[in-house]
Protein backbone atom coordinates (compact mmCIF):
# COMPACT_ATOMS: atom_id res chain seq x y z
CA UNK A 1 0.00 0.00 0.00
CA UNK A 2 1.02 3.58 -0.49
CA UNK A 3 2.74 5.39 -3.31
CA UNK A 4 6.39 4.55 -3.75
CA UNK A 5 7.24 5.73 -7.19
CA UNK A 6 5.71 8.46 -9.29
CA UNK A 7 6.93 9.50 -12.71
CA UNK A 8 5.69 12.02 -15.21
CA UNK A 9 4.55 10.30 -18.38
CA UNK A 10 3.04 12.80 -20.80
CA UNK A 11 0.90 15.86 -21.35
CA UNK A 12 -2.03 15.64 -23.75
CA UNK A 13 -4.14 18.26 -25.41
CA UNK A 14 -7.10 15.96 -25.95
CA UNK A 15 -8.44 12.82 -24.36
CA UNK A 16 -7.79 10.99 -27.64
CA UNK A 17 -4.06 11.64 -27.20
CA UNK A 18 -3.89 10.25 -23.67
CA UNK A 19 -1.99 6.97 -23.02
CA UNK A 20 -3.70 3.71 -23.99
CA UNK A 21 -6.31 3.13 -21.30
CA UNK A 22 -4.85 -0.21 -20.22
CA UNK A 23 -4.53 0.70 -16.52
CA UNK A 24 -6.88 2.24 -14.04
CA UNK A 25 -6.59 5.95 -13.43
CA UNK A 26 -7.88 8.64 -11.12
CA UNK A 27 -7.93 12.33 -11.93
CA UNK A 28 -7.77 15.55 -9.92
CA UNK A 29 -9.50 18.76 -10.83
CA UNK A 30 -10.49 22.01 -9.19
CA UNK A 31 -10.52 25.73 -9.65
CA UNK A 32 -7.11 27.25 -10.13
CA UNK A 33 -5.26 27.94 -6.89
CA UNK A 34 -7.29 25.38 -4.96
CA UNK A 35 -4.07 23.56 -4.07
CA UNK A 36 -4.21 20.75 -6.65
CA UNK A 37 -0.52 20.68 -7.51
CA UNK A 38 0.46 20.84 -3.85
CA UNK A 39 -1.90 17.95 -3.07
CA UNK A 40 -0.51 15.80 -5.89
CA UNK A 41 3.02 16.47 -4.68
CA UNK A 42 1.99 15.60 -1.13
CA UNK A 43 0.27 12.36 -2.17
CA UNK A 44 3.22 11.23 -4.26
CA UNK A 45 5.77 12.61 -1.77
CA UNK A 46 7.39 14.22 -4.73
CA UNK A 47 8.45 17.78 -4.18
CA UNK A 48 7.85 18.95 -7.69
CA UNK A 49 5.88 16.41 -9.68
CA UNK A 50 3.02 18.77 -10.37
CA UNK A 51 4.05 22.37 -10.77
CA UNK A 52 2.90 24.58 -7.95
CA UNK A 53 2.44 27.77 -9.79
CA UNK A 54 1.88 31.34 -8.84
CA UNK A 55 0.25 31.95 -12.20
CA UNK A 56 -3.26 30.51 -12.28
CA UNK A 57 -4.09 28.80 -15.52
CA UNK A 58 -0.58 27.80 -16.48
CA UNK A 59 -1.13 24.06 -16.71
CA UNK A 60 -3.70 23.68 -19.42
CA UNK A 61 -2.96 20.14 -20.45
CA UNK A 62 -3.99 16.69 -19.27
CA UNK A 63 -0.95 15.45 -17.36
CA UNK A 64 -0.45 11.73 -16.81
CA UNK A 65 1.78 10.35 -14.06
CA UNK A 66 2.56 6.65 -13.72
CA UNK A 67 2.33 5.45 -10.13
CA UNK A 68 4.27 2.38 -9.05
CA UNK A 69 4.16 1.11 -12.61
CA UNK A 70 0.57 0.22 -11.84
CA UNK A 71 -1.93 3.04 -12.29
CA UNK A 72 -2.22 6.55 -13.65
CA UNK A 73 -2.69 9.70 -11.66
CA UNK A 74 -4.01 12.50 -13.83
CA UNK A 75 -3.63 16.20 -13.21
CA UNK A 76 -6.37 18.01 -15.11
CA UNK A 77 -6.30 21.73 -15.88
CA UNK A 78 -8.05 23.97 -13.40
CA UNK A 79 -11.38 25.49 -14.34
CA UNK A 80 -12.93 28.88 -13.77
CA UNK A 81 -10.05 31.11 -14.76
CA UNK A 82 -10.77 34.78 -14.75
CA UNK A 83 -7.60 35.56 -16.62
CA UNK A 84 -8.09 33.72 -19.89
CA UNK A 85 -10.20 34.70 -22.86
CA UNK A 86 -13.71 33.42 -23.46
CA UNK A 87 -12.46 31.38 -26.40
CA UNK A 88 -9.61 29.92 -24.34
CA UNK A 89 -12.07 29.03 -21.60
CA UNK A 90 -14.39 27.28 -24.03
CA UNK A 91 -11.63 25.12 -25.48
CA UNK A 92 -10.37 24.28 -22.00
CA UNK A 93 -13.85 23.27 -20.98
CA UNK A 94 -14.14 21.12 -24.08
CA UNK A 95 -10.84 19.42 -23.23
CA UNK A 96 -11.87 18.68 -19.65
CA UNK A 97 -15.36 17.53 -20.54
CA UNK A 98 -14.12 15.39 -23.41
CA UNK A 99 -11.70 13.68 -21.06
CA UNK A 100 -14.21 13.07 -18.26
CA UNK A 101 -16.98 11.90 -20.55
CA UNK A 102 -14.84 9.57 -22.67
CA UNK A 103 -11.94 8.25 -20.66
CA UNK A 104 -12.93 4.65 -20.15
CA UNK A 105 -10.35 3.77 -17.48
CA UNK A 106 -11.21 6.75 -15.24
CA UNK A 107 -12.18 5.15 -11.93
CA UNK A 108 -12.67 8.26 -9.89
CA UNK A 109 -12.61 12.01 -10.39
CA UNK A 110 -11.48 13.98 -7.35
CA UNK A 111 -12.94 17.45 -7.27
CA UNK A 112 -10.94 19.77 -5.05
CA UNK A 113 -12.54 22.54 -3.03
CA UNK A 114 -10.95 25.12 -0.76
CA UNK A 115 -12.25 24.22 2.69
CA UNK A 116 -12.68 27.89 3.60
CA UNK A 117 -15.24 28.55 0.88
CA UNK A 118 -18.97 28.00 0.71
CA UNK A 119 -20.22 25.85 -2.19
CA UNK A 120 -19.71 27.84 -5.38
CA UNK A 121 -22.01 27.52 -8.34
CA UNK A 122 -19.25 26.59 -10.76
CA UNK A 123 -18.14 23.70 -8.54
CA UNK A 124 -21.61 22.38 -7.90
CA UNK A 125 -22.50 22.55 -11.59
CA UNK A 126 -19.33 20.71 -12.48
CA UNK A 127 -20.03 18.00 -9.87
CA UNK A 128 -23.52 17.53 -11.22
CA UNK A 129 -22.33 17.33 -14.77
CA UNK A 130 -19.61 14.78 -13.88
CA UNK A 131 -22.04 12.64 -11.92
CA UNK A 132 -24.41 12.67 -14.90
CA UNK A 133 -21.60 11.22 -17.01
CA UNK A 134 -21.63 8.20 -14.73
CA UNK A 135 -18.17 8.98 -13.36
CA UNK A 136 -17.55 8.27 -9.68
CA UNK A 137 -16.68 11.53 -7.98
CA UNK A 138 -15.14 12.29 -4.61
CA UNK A 139 -14.50 15.64 -2.98
CA UNK A 140 -11.34 16.83 -1.32
CA UNK A 141 -11.51 19.87 0.92
CA UNK A 142 -8.04 21.38 0.68
CA UNK A 143 -5.96 23.67 2.91
CA UNK A 144 -7.43 22.25 6.12
CA UNK A 145 -4.55 23.84 8.07
CA UNK A 146 -6.07 27.24 7.33
CA UNK A 147 -8.96 26.55 9.71
CA UNK A 148 -8.87 25.96 13.44
CA UNK A 149 -9.60 22.53 14.90
CA UNK A 150 -13.09 23.66 15.86
CA UNK A 151 -13.89 25.55 12.66
CA UNK A 152 -12.83 22.68 10.37
CA UNK A 153 -15.50 20.07 11.21
CA UNK A 154 -18.16 22.78 11.25
CA UNK A 155 -17.18 24.00 7.81
CA UNK A 156 -17.08 20.45 6.37
CA UNK A 157 -20.50 19.68 7.88
CA UNK A 158 -21.93 22.92 6.45
CA UNK A 159 -20.58 22.06 3.02
CA UNK A 160 -22.07 18.60 3.19
CA UNK A 161 -25.40 20.02 4.25
CA UNK A 162 -25.38 22.51 1.39
CA UNK A 163 -24.71 19.72 -1.11
CA UNK A 164 -27.61 17.71 0.23
CA UNK A 165 -29.85 20.41 -1.16
CA UNK A 166 -28.81 19.22 -4.59
CA UNK A 167 -28.37 15.50 -3.93
CA UNK A 168 -29.89 12.83 -1.78
CA UNK A 169 -26.45 11.55 -0.96
CA UNK A 170 -23.15 13.32 -0.68
CA UNK A 171 -20.15 12.04 -2.64
CA UNK A 172 -17.30 10.71 -0.48
CA UNK A 173 -15.50 13.65 1.14
CA UNK A 174 -11.92 13.98 2.30
CA UNK A 175 -10.09 16.73 4.10
CA UNK A 176 -6.49 17.49 3.17
CA UNK A 177 -3.60 19.76 3.90
CA UNK A 178 -0.54 19.67 1.70
CA UNK A 179 1.23 21.77 4.32
CA UNK A 180 0.61 19.29 7.13
CA UNK A 181 0.28 16.04 5.18
CA UNK A 182 -3.34 15.63 6.32
CA UNK A 183 -5.54 13.22 4.37
CA UNK A 184 -2.76 11.39 2.55
CA UNK A 185 -3.41 7.88 3.89
CA UNK A 186 -7.19 8.12 3.54
CA UNK A 187 -7.04 9.36 -0.04
CA UNK A 188 -4.48 6.77 -1.13
CA UNK A 189 -6.44 3.98 0.53
CA UNK A 190 -9.56 5.15 -1.27
CA UNK A 191 -7.74 5.22 -4.62
CA UNK A 192 -6.43 1.72 -4.00
CA UNK A 193 -9.95 0.48 -3.35
CA UNK A 194 -10.69 1.40 -6.95
CA UNK A 195 -7.44 0.25 -8.46
CA UNK A 196 -7.21 -3.06 -6.63
CA UNK A 197 -10.68 -3.68 -5.33
CA UNK A 198 -12.85 -2.80 -8.30
CA UNK A 199 -14.41 0.19 -6.54
CA UNK A 200 -15.57 1.51 -3.25
CA UNK A 201 -17.50 -1.02 -1.20
P1 LIG B 1 -3.25 24.80 -7.98
O2 LIG B 1 -3.29 26.03 -8.82
O3 LIG B 1 -4.61 24.28 -7.67
O4 LIG B 1 -2.33 23.72 -8.50
O5 LIG B 1 -2.69 25.26 -6.54
P6 LIG B 1 -1.23 25.20 -5.96
O7 LIG B 1 -0.89 23.84 -5.46
O8 LIG B 1 -0.29 25.86 -6.93
O9 LIG B 1 -1.42 26.09 -4.64
C10 LIG B 1 -1.93 27.42 -4.70
C11 LIG B 1 -1.45 28.18 -3.47
O12 LIG B 1 -2.02 27.62 -2.29
C13 LIG B 1 0.05 28.11 -3.26
O14 LIG B 1 0.48 29.36 -2.76
C15 LIG B 1 0.24 27.02 -2.22
O16 LIG B 1 1.40 27.18 -1.45
C17 LIG B 1 -1.02 27.19 -1.38
N18 LIG B 1 -1.43 25.89 -0.79
C19 LIG B 1 -1.67 24.75 -1.46
N20 LIG B 1 -2.03 23.77 -0.61
C21 LIG B 1 -2.02 24.29 0.63
C22 LIG B 1 -2.31 23.77 1.94
O23 LIG B 1 -2.65 22.60 2.14
N24 LIG B 1 -2.21 24.65 2.96
C25 LIG B 1 -1.85 25.96 2.80
N26 LIG B 1 -1.81 26.73 3.88
N27 LIG B 1 -1.58 26.48 1.59
C28 LIG B 1 -1.65 25.67 0.51
pLDDT of 43-63, one tens digit each?
998 877 777 554 444 558 999
pLDDT, residue 84, reads 67
Q: What is the crossing angle of helices 184-195 and 36-44, to 10°?
A: 80
Give the tens place of pLDDT for each residue, 81-103.
656 677 777 888 899 999 999 99
* Ligand 1 mean position, distance from CA 36 (Å): 7
The answer, yes or no, to whether any atom of ligand 1 lies below 6 A from the CB of 35, is: yes
CA 196/CA 88 separation, integer angstroms:
38
The answer, yes or no, to whether any atom of ligand 1 lies below 6 A from the CB of 171, is: no
From atom 27 of ligand 1, which residue's Cα is the shortest distance away? 143
Rounded to 5 degrees, φ, ψ at 199 are 125, 175
The answer, yes or no, to whether any atom of ligand 1 lies below 6 A from the CB of 34, is: yes
pTM of the model: 0.93
Share of the chain residues as helix, strand and coil, in percent rounded to the nearest 5 = 35, 25, 45
Q: Residue 64's closest CA among 77, 52, 73?
A: 73
Q: Given the DSSP bridges, would you call strands 62-67 and 106-114 parallel, antiparallel or unpaired? A: unpaired
The answer, yes or no, to whether any atom of ligand 1 lies below 6 A from the CB of 31, is: no
The answer, yes or no, to whether any atom of ligand 1 lies below 6 A from the CB of 37, is: yes
Amino acid sequence: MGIHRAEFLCSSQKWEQCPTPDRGEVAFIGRSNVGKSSLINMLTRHGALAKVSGTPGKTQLINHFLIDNDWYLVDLPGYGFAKISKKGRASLEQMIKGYVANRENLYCLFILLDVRHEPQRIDVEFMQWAAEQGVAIALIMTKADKLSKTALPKQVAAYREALLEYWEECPPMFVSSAEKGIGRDEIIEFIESFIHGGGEE
